[in-house]
Amino acid sequence: MMLMEEKNRTAAGTGGKGKPRFFRVLARILIILLVLAITTGAAVFLYAGYTRTHYTISFYQETSRKVHRNIRIAVISDLHNREYGEGNATLISDISALKPDLILFLGDTVTKTDGNYEPMLSLVSALSRIAPCYGVLGNHESERIYYREDRELPKRFENAGLKLLRNAQETIRIGRDQVQLIGLEGTVYGFDEYGGRAFMDQVRFDPSVYCIVMNHIPVLFEEKLSAYDFDLGIAGHVHGGTVILPHFGGLYSDEEGWLPRYYAGEYVLGDQKKLIINRGMGDSKPIPRINNMPELVIIDISSY
């Protein structure tokens, strides 16, 4: 009987010591997780701040028998009213130093909720003194024009020096070469309804002239444009998927959902046509860019 009571007392004592040890371990784990969460949050905050004031310059090299010398094109997409340096001095200086023959705007230069886009007009005016500027509208410009009654927006950008191609084309001369520029409006769903298909069907593609097609939304190229006889497509809109996951790519786009195929970089469409997607230079949503620096794209087209 005495032996049984001793065993019971020993068992009770062991249990009492085990519980405090368990809670101490749990507390340490929670502290470590809290520190990791704070550190990660701080890193994301600092990186997001850095991406608001810095960008990278991405270079792409294309070759074609349709050109005689190198043609350099600077491509700007999705600025969303952002300025790099006072009055965009940094961006203007970088583009000037790169000496482009042509500057293309892929849309969403403005933000739909902000009617004060004078800095963007000033940017266009400055860049138009460096090289001819052409562009297309993005969904934010369309929102301002059609839903916020900002009917003067296209004219204001045209007056600043940006030639907008709204289901239109223009052939321009650069040195000895000609480049056919085609600008299209609209989304995948509005391509047929709002005249994109009818316009493209009547375009005459000269096999001796290098042809570039611009549209704000990249998925439109695979679904609606890949059968046409152009050389290079360029698009923006998806901001690199906002978050770029190593080994997986962009996290999300409005058109394709999670892990979209088209989020950034160079793609090959049918008949070896190329598509280059710009990650954009600004943001329109509160979700921060992660592993995804804003970018200015430079495309060099040379003979081979």
Q: Residues 219, 71: one domain?
A: yes
Q: Residues 168, 219: one domain?
A: yes
pLDDT grade for 17, boundaries at 50, 70 and 90: low
What six digits make up the tokens of 116?
């004060």
- For residue 215, give its domain range: 57-302
Q: Residues 43, 61: one domain?
A: no
Q: Residues 152, 248: one domain?
A: yes
Model pLDDT for residues 44-53, shown as the tens digit of each residue = 777 677 777 8
pLDDT grade for 25, boundaries at 50, 70 and 90: confident
Beta bridge partners of residue 258, listed in sequence order: 252
Alpha carbon distance 186, 17 (integer Å) = 70
Q: Residues 246, 97: one domain?
A: yes
pLDDT grade for 1, boundaries at 50, 70 and 90: very low
Average pLDDT of the segment spanning 36-43? 76
Beta bridge partners of residue 57, listed in sequence order: 296
How many structural domains comprise the chain? 2
Q: Residues 34, 164: one domain?
A: no
CATH number for the domain spanning 162: value is 3.60.21.10
Residue 299 reports pLDDT greater than 60: yes
Q: Residues 129, 16: one domain?
A: no
Using the structure block, give the residue that is written with the tokens 């794209």.
Answer: 297
Q: Residues 287, 239: one domain?
A: yes
**Which of 28, 51, 74 is the last residue in one of the domains?**
51
Alpha carbon distance 200, 33 (integer Å) = 56
Residue 64 φ/ψ, nearest 5 degrees: -160, 145
pLDDT grade for 108, boundaries at 50, 70 and 90: very high
Alpha carbon distance 51, 281 (integer Å) = 9
**Which of 51, 69, 86 is the last residue in one of the domains?**
51
Where is average pLDDT lowest: 23-37, 156-170, 185-199, 253-267?
23-37
Where is average pLDDT lowest: 23-37, 112-126, 210-224, 277-291?
23-37
- Cβ atoms of 250 and 238 closer than 8 Å: yes
Q: Residues 174, 288: one domain?
A: yes
**Dihedral of CA 81/84/86/89: which sign?**
negative
Q: Residues 6, 66: one domain?
A: no
Model pLDDT for residues 52-64, shown as the tens digit of each residue = 789 999 999 999 9
- Cβ atoms of 82 and 282 closer than 8 Å: yes
In whole angstroms, how large is the CA radius of gyration of the chain? 27
Q: Residues 33, 102: one domain?
A: no
Q: Residues 95, 209: one domain?
A: yes
CB atoms within 10 A of CB 293: 16
What's the confidence (pLDDT) of residue 271?
82
